[in-house]
Amino acid sequence: MRKFIIIILSCFIVTTVFAEKSPHGEKLKINCAVCHTTDNWNKIRTGEFNHNKTNFPLVGQHQTVNCRQCHTSLEFSKAKSDCNSCHTDIHQGTVGHDCARCHTPNSWIVNNVKQIHQQQGFSLIGAHASADCARCHTSASKLRFDNIRTDCFACHKNKYDETTGGRIDHKALGFDIDCGRCHNMTGLDWSSNGRGFEHGFFPLIGGHNIACDVCHFENDYKTKLTSDCYSCHSGTYDATNNPSHASAGFSTDCKTCHSINAWTPATFDHEKYFPIKSGKHQGINCIECHTNSANYATFACTNCHEHSKSRMDSEHDDVGGYVYNSTNCYSCHPKGKAD
């Protein structure tokens, strides 16, 4: 019995001393038997320790790495979890030290290039989606991705300078070097998907969705143009003969009758001048009042009301300056009503 007590005390003392001098440090609180066997400290139980319960789960290629590659000492808590502690930064600090922004534990291959660019404020869309990385990242062959400018002019200065001759000379005209003001980044070339220039003061829609030089003659983008229809469409106005706009005295404000999409069909808001959609004059034909097809500014009320001249004369005998003619009829009866 005495011997048994001495043995127990000896084991307790040895265990206590060993615990204080554990090569794994004081922070490791797990049971020794998780990793070691009772017959030999150097005989390790492989696969017993659950690394996923630590702050560094073993996923991807980290599952096949030898423990000693990360744990260079037996004090496991000293092993760092940041990538740079184990992996040499081949990008030489040009993309920061967070490898996980581009890489995963499964592979060094970068599969989220577009997402990375979007996060950095430069989405790879349009022609940029298929561009050679080295065209912008000139040091990419050295695996360096130095911070570069994202403004258009930084990469496309040569295109800006080349716009001479038959094209719009950007430099001579003093065009903005912000390419995005006129060009669309989602397109595959400089002219794709129409204009990007903010033409809000004169919307380029419908029939006005045309080439710039149709209005800006001889590449003159400095002279301010008027938004008046006739300034551009005087030739069309003068050449129209069905009916003749010029002789008929039609308004030179084209949108009075025409839409911005096309010349036809043309509509005229007659209700502003004389109602023909309601009342007694509803449904009458243009020629009944406008007897002169060459001049729609003139009209003839008396053609239809000739039979009532004598009655009108007697009814208006107390009206000063009364004369039985179409102009006077309209001046007193602009709505076509008797009162």
Q: Is the pLDDT of residue 12 over 80?
A: no
Contact of 167 with 218, CB cutoff 8 Å:
no
DSSP state of 287: H
Region 242-271: what's the mean pLDDT?
85
- What's the rounded Cα separation, in Å, for the pair 319 and 336? 18
Looking at per-residue pLDDT, the higher value among 91 and 198 belongs to 91
Among candidate residues 335, 331, 336, the one with its CA nearest the CA of residue 321 = 331
Taking residue 58's Cβ as centre, other Cβ atoms within 10 Å add up to: 16
Instruction: Output the pLDDT for position 81.
Output: 85
- Give alpha helix (H) positions in the chain: 2-20, 67-70, 113-119, 133-136, 152-162, 170-173, 229-239, 245-248, 286-289, 302-305, 309-315, 326-332
Instruction: Output the pLDDT for position 311.
Output: 83
Q: Is the pLDDT of residue 122 over 80?
A: yes
Q: Which two tokens stand for residue 165?
A: 């001759």
Instruction: Output the pLDDT for position 133.
Output: 85
Q: In degrees rounded to 5, what are phi and psi of residue 294?
A: -85, -10
Please, which residues bridge with residue 107 across strands?
Answer: 104
Contact of 24 with 75, CB cutoff 8 Å:
yes
Q: Is the pLDDT of residue 84 over 50?
A: yes
Instruction: Output the pLDDT for position 17.
Output: 44
Q: Is the pLDDT of residue 195 over 60?
A: no
Q: pLDDT tens digit string along 209-249? A: 887 878 887 777 777 888 899 998 999 999 988 778 887 77
- Give the SS3 label for residue 246: helix
Please tell me the least confidently modeled range out of 44-48, 165-169, 225-229, 260-264.
165-169
Region 310-338: what's the mean pLDDT?
85
Grade residue 197 by pLDDT with cuts at 50, 70 and 90. low
pTM for the whole thing? Answer: 0.44
Grade residue 20 by pLDDT with cuts at 50, 70 and 90. low
For every residue of 66-123, DSSP letters joined together read -HHHH--SS-GGG---SGGGTS--TTTTTT-S-GGGT-BTTBS----HHHHHHHTT--
- Average confidence score pLDDT of the chain: 81
Q: Is the pLDDT of residue 16 over 70?
A: no
Grade residue 337 by pLDDT with cuts at 50, 70 and 90. confident
Taking residue 184's Cβ as centre, other Cβ atoms within 10 Å add up to: 19
Region 38-45: what's the mean pLDDT?
84
Instruction: Output the pLDDT for position 2.
Output: 52
Q: Is the pLDDT of residue 10 over 70?
A: no
- Give the SS3 label for residue 34: helix
Residue pointed to by tokens 């020794």: 32
What are the residue boundaries of the structural domains of the chain, listed by start? 2-81, 91-150, 153-222, 226-267, 269-339
Instruction: Output the pLDDT for position 233.
Output: 92
Grade residue 167 by pLDDT with cuts at 50, 70 and 90. low
Terminal C-alpha separation, the chain: 137
Instruction: Output the pLDDT for position 234.
Output: 93
Which of 10-14, 191-195, 242-246, 251-255 reaches the highest mean pLDDT? 251-255
